[in-house]
Amino acid sequence: MLFGCLGRAYAVQIAAVSDGYPFGMTDDKDIARLMAYAKTEGVDLAVSMDLAYKNDDSALSRAFVFSLKFAKLDDNARTYGQIIWSSFLNLAESRGPDWFGRLVAAQPEAVRQRIRDIIYYPINQVPSAQRDEADVEVRKEYPSLFPKEYSYGLRDLVYGNQANQSTDPALASGTPPAGQESRHP
């Protein structure tokens, strides 16, 4: 994985958040549910991600645009977040973090914000005492992805909800980690 290429503070903090699963563990059932939802929205997310891993930037951009279908951090949004976050680790390792940052920067403003929020999400999940240090480190390491003007959750219905600051997402909101049953009907 890209942990070796990530800034030291970011890698350490990410490792502390669910051992590399900042959105919660996902399984085949979670992914199948997300892919079925995407199809109901007219998007073949599985095909887009498959093509993205074959260096199709347009396909990854289509997958990014799909992020705007989520209005809350529910099971599908968590599964999607894990897929996008993992694609950042994998694709930035193979193609470079600057390439990934440029592709995100080329998106419409709302998509750009949402994808940056997904990638930044693990930083927001670490204890607040270490968050500032991790923020400085990740911005230094990835200036094209997290430029100075980037603000986590800005005008974002999903990530603007600062209630989701616990390392256990189920404690901070009524939305459980992917694959777990909701505590609230």
Domain boundaries, the chain: 2-172
Half-sphere exposure of 98 (CA within 13 A, CB side): 0
The pLDDT value recorded for residue 69 is: 96
The pLDDT value recorded for residue 19 is: 62
Q: Which amino acid is at 124?
A: N
User: How far is it, in rounded angstroms, from Cα 165 to Cα 128?
Assistant: 9
pLDDT tens across 56-71, in order?
999 999 999 999 999 9
The pLDDT value recorded for residue 161 is: 65
Around Cβ 71, how many Cβ atoms within 10 Å? 9
45 with 34: CB under 8 angstroms?
yes
Q: Which residues of 135-169 are buried (b: 16+ CB within 10 A; e: fewer)?
A: bebbbebbeebbeeeeebbeebebbeeeebbeeeb
Q: Which amino acid is at 43?
A: V
- DSSP reduced 3-state for 165: coil
The pLDDT value recorded for residue 102 is: 96
User: How far is it, in rounded angstroms, from Cα 182 to Cα 37?
Assistant: 18
pLDDT lower than 50: segments of the chain = 1-10, 12-16, 18, 162-185
177 with 184: CB under 8 angstroms?
no
**Is the pTM here over 0.85, yes or no?**
no
User: How far is it, in rounded angstroms, from Cα 154 to Cα 88?
Assistant: 21
CA angle 55, 122, 10 (to 5 degrees): 80
The pLDDT value recorded for residue 37 is: 97
User: How far is it, in rounded angstroms, from Cα 44 to Cα 26?
Assistant: 19
The pLDDT value recorded for residue 175 is: 35
113 with 62: CB under 8 angstroms?
no
